[in-house]
Chain A
Amino acid sequence: MPNIIQLTHVHKAYTLGQLKQPVLHDISLTISSGEFVAIVGPSGNGKSTLLNLLTGIDRPCRGEVLVNGSALHRLREEQLSIWRGAHVGIVFQFFQLLPSLNLLQNILLPMDFVGKLPKRERLERARYLLNLVGLDEQAKQLPGQVSGGQQQRAAIARALANDPALIVADEPTGNLDSATADAVFALFSALQQQGKTLVIVTHNEDLAQSASRRIAIHAGRIHDDQYLSNTK
């Protein structure tokens, strides 16, 4: 399978007052299309920073970040927003649905931003995605009216709105009970079956074991990188 993600000698550091705090050291990594990658490791060791580099939310200090053929380290902020809308779906720990929009409208929003689909097809796709995550009954509910698990499923549906090749999720189950977390992971597995590439940061070692590849980050370096038996 072709590589969808290629990181070459990536360094990242944050400046805190007078101090420069290194977060990632010389990371080189490739992820093939269709992989389901779980990134694990202790807090504050660079997992989320790595994820932010993959989505263009953050930029490397040095090194190259190529995702789906785009050199993210060279794109401007505005180009990155447009690129993200079209090529990557992001799932956040706290769902981050817009509270004043109903679930259906939350899913329509990225489609409206990107404009890839004709207007008449967007509503049809949003309904399809809600159905996919089992929320067709709650389409007209506001986020505050549904449970945390339902919100996260809606957030996953939103991440799929523009049919991105890559889906990244930062602690997607961190705010859910274990049964709901299992259901969300099952949804990720199903997406992998459909050919999506998934990169997920998690603290939950059991859930990480259900991915096809497990990368452990420690002190800003790749400490361990192993393919699991769940490989598609």
Chain B
Amino acid sequence: MLFNLNLWQKVSADLFSHKSRSALAISSIAIGLFVIGTLLGMMDLQLGSMDNAHRQSQPSHINLILRQDADVAVAKTIKNIDGVADIDTLTQFTAQFKTSPSAQWQTGTVLFRADYQDQAYDRMTLVSGSFPRDNRIAVERLSARFSGLNSGDSIEFSTANGSEKLAIDGIIRHPFVKPPAFGGQLHFFIAEELAPIFGIPAHTFRQLLVQIKPPYSEEKARSIAGKIRAQLAVSGIAVNATLLQHPDRHWGRAIFSGIHLVLTVMAWASLALSSVLILNTVAALITQQTDQIGIMKSLGARRRTIAGIYLSEVFILSLIALLIAIPLSWAGAFYSSRWLLDVFNIELNGFVYSAQALSLMIAGGLVAPLLAALWPIWKGASMSVRQAIASYGLGADFVSHGFDRWLERTVAAWLPTLYAVALGNLLRRKARLLWTQSVLIIAGVLFIVIMSLIASVNLTLNNELARSRYAVRIGFAQDQSADLVNDIVRTIPPTVAVEFWQRLPAELLQGDKLIRQSGSLGLQMIGLPADTTMYRPLIVAGRWFDPSDDRQKQLVINAETAELNGIQVGDTVNAKLMQQPARAWQVIGLYRGFAGSGYAVEAVYAPLSAMQPDSLNAHKHAFALLSADIHSLAEEKTYVDALKTAFEQQQIKLDFYTTLAKLEQRRFAENQFRPMTRMLLGLAVMIAAVGGIGLSGTLAIGVLQRTREIGVLRAIGASSSAIFKLFMLEGLFHGCLAWLISIPLAFLLAEPLAKQLGTTMLGIELDFVFSLVSVGFWLGFVLILALLAAYLPARQASRIVVRAGLSY
């Protein structure tokens, strides 16, 4: 036994006779443990549930998005390709709809499958009502919630023959839908029989879903996808994009990895805060009991015994906190996961608590408080009897180091005395200052990093916009002749110039081996005039095309793909277009992709004149790029509507996926990134709030420890407002110091962190800019936070009456 019954009685008396102090210590530890348990438990629960939901949907390994409608008979030929286990099909297209006669037309996604009751892959599950049949449609679950639509409502669709009103009779969960809250379109499901009213032939499909024979590997899937594309090409069907999916890993993992990075930082910041609070509480306890320590030592107590008493107290407090935090964190992990997964359309069915989170809670909950308390306890236990018994004056806790003397000479001596007192108090307990500051500094750095991320997203979008000189890119469902398109667009103001591009699905090979690519939706060769004026990507090595490249077999490829395969400028690669034999092309430049390696079709640029002899539709084009004198979204919309009407009148179908208006695209991109950046900002604010609580706790302990000092100040004439001001100033100094330190740290960390967050969470390669304005914003924010945090302790201090203060 560490010590006898009497000393255990002292331990219990210390804990029970100061109930508010014990409650503060327990809640300090419990808050930190709760946050850690909730966040780490949530991460494991989320990833497990996401992967589980992914597996349950029977994900296709290869999803080929076709450029045109293909007859179901074609699909059957794919089944015979070596390595293919089975296939499924569906069609997804965009359509205009409105929810009421007075509402505006909106663009939505409409989807149909041959038989909803017999879905092989990418299964869509019925949430309520019925699967689509006849004229009755279903709405996607997230779309229903986002738009308020429900069974019984009607939707008016723009159809091939005018418009059609269709009633909603069911709600369906789609496993791969982009949440409308994150900028996704509303999704509707129709029966296959309704397809012709949208101008889509019956018994056709636009997406081919394939599972390959086990075992799955990305390389194998890519190779089989190549064979399927070649087979489709034989039937004259081009593939717009090829999406590969891991059978066991949910597609949202990439997005969550960024969120989890931030959550992990937050979890550890909470543990740090928790340690600060326990350190403060124990330090206050030791200060209060200094005379008791002196007496125990004078009676023969050893340093180890005294340290044992106080460490036992901390251990008991930690154990109680742990017992409180564990069930609360289970509930926290469950409910927060359920909420977040719901945003991604995933239902959380069961609860499995993370063993990792539990073990970290136990380890962190018992070890961190003891470690935090060790120093003040050991220092207290090591005090001599003389020091302990004689520590009645002010400054028993103040040891003047060289730094204090330097500060006193250089700064404090020039400050008004009240400011000098506040500054001295700030720096009095350096370890506590360090811990309190660390949480505020982390919050500040995160805030500035996220604001820099937002500024960088804007800069990147602006730069991309500046590289694109066209106003509108028209994508055709089928290649069109330049003359015909020219005749149409030249009559529509404010068209200034037109340029024609071609695109073909491509495979690049080094020797006869397919190269690995950074984009997961496949490669596409984009042919453009060697003297193009409409677009110029960001070239990171080599050069862009010039007129001398006309008819030359030269390529500009993605820099990330080049790096993956060790391709240098000047190297030769083989390119296979459609079913044509592979031919040698020389790489003359590397560009940096705007979108990252997520779900993107990767472009390989080539001179149009060099590519056309290989293509099936020579002298016809997939794209028309129009430059026009447009300065606003409204002007752009009028122009695009006029173009669409003109092409519709000429029976030319546009491809909704590849037709884009530049300003609208930019707004869409901004809206797409906004929820993520807002969430990150929210987390930074939460960390700041945690820092604020820590600061408030530090100041509150300061009030407790300096009660006698407050009494002396009162005795020499300090008014309540002077005492209040003193603690408010200390809070403000904390805020200013955290702000000052966070600036250089943020400056150093902003670029790598923002770029990393840009890649993992937003899927874009960022042009970085440091947000100077955020430095100003953070100053305002941290000062307000500091004032709020200081208010209660300052008020408490100002209410201490002189006698109570002096007798403390």
Contact = CB atoms under 8 A, between A and B. Distances in A.
B47 interface: no
A100 B801 contact: no
B404 A81 contact: no
A86 B715 CA distance: 11
Interface in B414-470: 416-418, 420-421, 423-425, 427-428
Given A52-B803, A114-B717, A100 B428 contact: yes
A113 to B, nearest CB: 4
A81 B717 contact: yes
B398 A144 contact: yes
Contact of B714 (A52, A81, A105, A114): A81
Given A102-B413, A144-B395, A85 B718 contact: yes
Contacts of B273: none
B803 A58 contact: yes
Interface string A80-99: 11101110011011111111
A191 to B, nearest CB: 17
Contacts of A99: 394-395, 398, 400, 424, 428
B302 interface: no
B400 A145 contact: yes
B386 to A, nearest CB: 13
A207 interface: no
A82 B802 CA distance: 12
A110 interface: yes
Interface in B659-708: 708
Interface in A148-188: 158-159, 161-162
Interface in A46-76: 52, 55-58
Nearest to A116: B717
B804 to A, nearest CB: 10
A4 interface: no
B77 to A, nearest CB: 86
Given A81-B714, A90-B716, A98 B394 contact: yes
B413 A112 contact: no
Nearest to B422: A100
Which residue, of A78, A89, A96, has the highest number of chain B Cβ atoms within 10 A? A96
A50 B405 CA distance: 39
Given A57-B806, A140-B409, A97 B715 contact: no
Contact of A94 (B392, B400, B716, B719): B392
Contacts of B395: 97-100, 143-144
Contacts of A84: 714-717, 802
A54 to B, nearest CB: 12
A89 B413 CA distance: 24
Q: Provide the main secondary structure of the chain B interface.
A: helix
Interface in A9-29: none
A113 B718 contact: yes
A99 B393 CA distance: 10
A127 to B, nearest CB: 13
B709 interface: yes
B716 A112 contact: no
B720 A78 contact: yes
Given A57-B803, A101-B420, A140-B408, A78 B400 contact: no
A99 B712 CA distance: 12
Contacts of B400: 99, 142, 144-145
Contact of B802 (A81, A89, A113): A81
A112 B417 CA distance: 7
A108 interface: yes
B286 interface: no
Given A82-B717, A142-B405, A100 B806 contact: no
A108 B417 contact: yes
B394 A96 contact: yes
Given A52-B803, A101-B412, A105-B417, A90 B405 contact: no
A20 to B, nearest CB: 17
B717 A113 contact: yes
Nearest to B712: A96
A219 interface: no
Contacts of A52: 803
A116 to B, nearest CB: 10
A93 B722 CA distance: 24
A57 B800 CA distance: 12
Contacts of B363: none
B399 interface: yes
A224 interface: no
Contacts of B428: 99-100
Nearest to A56: B802
A77 interface: yes
A207 B183 CA distance: 86
Contacts of A90: 715-716
A109 B417 contact: yes
Contacts of B423: 100
A158 B716 CA distance: 8
Interface in B363-393: 392-393
Given A57-B715, A81-B802, A100-B425, A94 B394 contact: yes
B416 A112 contact: yes
A94 B801 CA distance: 19
Nearest to A168: B715
Contact of B719 (A97, A102, A113, A143): A113
A196 B323 CA distance: 63
Nearest to A161: B716
A108 B419 CA distance: 12
A161 B716 CA distance: 10
A98 B421 contact: yes
Contacts of B392: 93-94
Nearest to B806: A57
A105 B412 contact: yes
Contact of B717 (A85, A97, A108, A142): A85
B424 A100 contact: yes
B399 to A, nearest CB: 7
Contacts of A145: 400, 405
A126 to B, nearest CB: 10
Contacts of B398: 99-100, 144
Nearest to A52: B803
A63 B715 CA distance: 22
B611 to A, nearest CB: 77
Contacts of B404: 100, 142
Contacts of A80: 802
Which residue, of A80, A97, A99, A159, has the highest number of chain B Cβ atoms within 10 A? A99
Contacts of B803: 52, 57-58
A116 B427 CA distance: 30
Interface string A113-127: 110000000000000
A101 B394 contact: no
A78 B803 CA distance: 13
A170 to B, nearest CB: 9
Contacts of A158: 716
A96 B399 CA distance: 15
B717 A110 contact: yes
A55 B720 contact: no
B719 A140 contact: no
A95 B393 contact: yes
Nearest to B423: A100
Contacts of A159: 716
Contacts of A93: 392
B249 to A, nearest CB: 57
Contacts of B719: 78, 81-82, 85, 113
Contacts of A162: 717
Contacts of B409: 140
Interface in B94-150: none
A103 to B, nearest CB: 11
Given A58-B803, A100-B428, 6 more contacts: A82-B719, A84-B715, A92-B712, A96-B393, A99-B428, A144-B399
7 contacts: A84-B717, A94-B392, A95-B393, A108-B417, A109-B418, A113-B717, A113-B718
Q: Which 6 A-B pairs have the closest CB atoms?
A: A85-B717, A100-B424, A99-B395, A94-B393, A99-B398, A96-B712
